[in-house]
Amino acid sequence: MGITIPAISCRPHAPQVQFPPEAPMAARQQILCAQCDKAEDYCTCEKYCCICKGMEGVRLAMDGLYYCPDCREACDVPLAND
Ligand SMILES: [Zn+2]
Ligand SMILES: [Zn+2]
């Protein structure tokens, strides 16, 4: 019988608290409408998808353009204010 190596139980079980490298303010970055430079809540532009011109479920995306859910997913653009 050799030496039985104990399971990882000897390690402290504390989770590693590490913040992602991004600056905290990046999370609060306000995406503005590319047309009027206002946040989605204040934007009064006619909101339609920049790809298909559809108006259903259109939301402001990270690039300041409006997308319907289908096109946004197809272009892989995250929502501005998720
Ligand atoms: Zn606007
Ligand atoms: Zn669309």
pLDDT in tens, 17-71: 676 665 555 556 789 999 999 999 999 999 999 999 999 999 999 999 999 999 9
Predicted local distance difference test score (pLDDT) of residue 29:
75
Predicted local distance difference test score (pLDDT) of residue 81:
78
Which ligand sits nearest to residue 69's alpha carbon?
2
Alpha helices in 1-82 (DSSP H): 24-27, 69-75
Q: Which residues surround ligand 1, an ion (CB under 5 A)?
A: 33, 35-36, 43, 45
What's the CA-to-centroid distance between 75 and ligand 2, angstroms? 10
Predicted local distance difference test score (pLDDT) of residue 75:
97
pTM (whole model) above 0.75:
no
What's the CA-to-centroid distance between 28 and ligand 1, angstroms? 19
Taking a C-beta distance cutoff of 8 angstroms, is the pair 60, 40 a contact?
yes
Predicted local distance difference test score (pLDDT) of residue 10:
59
